Amino acid sequence: MEKRRFERMDDSLDAKIVMGDSVYSGIIMNFSEKGLHMVTATLFNVVEIAPDTMLDLKCKLPSGETVDMNCQVKWFRQKPSPFGVSFSIGMEIKEPPLKYREFIGAMH
């Protein structure tokens, strides 16, 4: 069994990764107070994101509010399909904003 500092919750939240001029839409598949796993929509171009890369993530909470978070990539995997490439990415949330912490607290 994998050791984690914070309990993961399985649910889905719409999100976007913003890296410079590039924006990648996807769904957060599970999340915790300090981390999350996101899967992107299928892309036609191959993207590589190295571990330790810092990126901005815009997450839409069930309330409809959007939360901006600064995240550090922990792992990255590509998944090819006949329709293009999607990717899964595990991230650590650096200094989770208050709105996100309140959302996580309400989930417990």
Mean pLDDT of 83-107: 92
Per-residue pLDDT tens digits for 34-67: 999 999 988 777 778 899 999 999 999 999 999 9
| Alpha-carbon distances of 26 from 5, 16, 42, 85, rounded to whole Å | 25, 6, 9, 12
> What is the domain class of 9-107 according to CATH?
mainly beta
Q: Tell me the pTM.
A: 0.85
> What are the boundaries of each domain within the chain?
9-107
CA distance 37 to 106: 20
